Amino acid sequence: MSKKEKKIQDYNWLYSFLRYYVDFVLKLSYRNVRYDGLERVPQNGAVIYAPNHTNALMDALVILAMDRKPKVFVARADIFKNPTLAKIFNFLKIMPIMRMRDGIDEVKKNNETISKAVDVLRDRVPFCIFPEGTHQAKYSSLPLSKGIFRIAFQAQELMPDMPLYIVPVGIRYGSFFRFRSTVRVQIGEPINIGEFVEEHSFYEPQIQINLLRDMLTERMKSSIFYIPDDEDYAATYEICAAAVKKQARLVRNLSENANLHPLDVHFKANNRTVWKLSNMKESEPERAAELLKLGREAAEIRRSKHISLGSVSIKYPFWSRLLKLIFFIAILPYCLVASVFTLPVKAVLGLIFKKMKDHAFRNSVRYLVNLVLWPVLMIIYSIIAYIVMPWQWALPFTLLLLPAPIVAHETWRLARLIISDIRFLSDKNLRGKYKKIREIIFNK
């Protein structure tokens, strides 16, 4: 009797074991990870997650860490050409999918992927596809491809007795490129595919796809910090940063927001500014034009002087800057030692980054290098420590060295912020522009 072919969604003990380490390192990669709306994920059927795509591999890892359930993902097919990599991706529960840019003939090969995806869903294993088709390091969105809808309709047809849902997911990073930033994940309102098909049964399949695409697009947009990707994008983002401190206070003053997580407050505050600016464009176009002009000018000056947006949007300027300086001075001796021991990691990252054109992959590469290289270095350092020191000294040395990559990074991040704060405080013209932006936004 031939051995039963193992499916991608089947239980794998090694995969399940490694998940603990993978999720742990992911959470160390961010200062704050927040999942909002997990209770909206349906428990009575099959689920297709539909997240926005802004940060390469990190998006998938953030979705994976949402809960302990295994999840099956899809990725662009060209990375599966190497047989060894294809086996690794299969172990990681990632399937290939062709994109329109690969050509019509290649896209036709997606039938096998769709068939496997349906099989995954029939086993009630969550399936994740990034419907935008490619990543974009912006707080915006791209047009959705049809692959997710073809999978959903075909799966529902083959599973008439099982509810099937597309669950929109909004991922919002504090920074797309900085290590140890923040990430907030918003679970949107699920779409019941069976109910949708029944309600729109009088339409042709293509029209159903278009209607479902419009519905998912709107639900994804409402789950993210969304800025229209037009000529005003950069100015709008700058205006949001200038206004976020006061907007956050206004959000917190509402009784229903009293116990909101800080990242949720930040999310609501930024969306309030985008909404207010959008209304201003319609009701007061001249005032909106003046505001956007200030936003563009402020952004240009700030970038030219290497000033962080954190210096602009800081909540308690005096105390925050003082605490940063005190902490930096206190931790600097350990940081210098930690920086020496993490030099191999920095060197490897530096070599890889030089060859990378798309900065959106940097956090993904940094995550993988830390995931693999730092444990190897810790083993080497520990062996050397126990050889050259008594164990009473080697043990605390090893324990103190464990958090070195994070401590070193956070300390030098503080140094950059302190320098940024000084530059911002010394630029009266720039501070004046942000003050004027706030006056216009809040109608002073």
Report the predicted TM-score, pTM, of the whole model to 2 decimal places. Answer: 0.91
pLDDT of residue 97: 80
Say whether pLDDT at 259 is over 90. Answer: no
d(CA 79, CA 377): 29
Work out the average pLDDT over 50-70: 93
Q: How many CB atoms lie within 10 A of CB 32?
A: 14
pLDDT in tens, 276-301: 999 999 999 999 999 999 999 999 99
pLDDT of residue 2: 45
pLDDT in tens, 147-188: 899 889 989 998 888 999 999 999 999 999 889 999 999 999
Q: How many CB atoms lie within 10 A of CB 320?
A: 15
The pLDDT > 90 percentage for the chain reads 70
Q: What SS3 string covers 366-424?
A: HHHHHHHHHHHHHHHHHHHHHHHCCHHHHHHHHHHHCCHHHHHHHHHHHHHHHHHHHHH
pLDDT of residue 1: 39
Say whether pLDDT at 102 is over 80. Answer: no
Q: Which of 118-132, 151-165, 247-261 has the lowest mean pLDDT?
A: 247-261
pLDDT in tens, 8-36: 999 999 999 999 999 999 999 999 999 99
Say whether pLDDT at 3 is over 60. Answer: no
Residue 338 near residue 407 (C-beta atoms within 8 A): yes
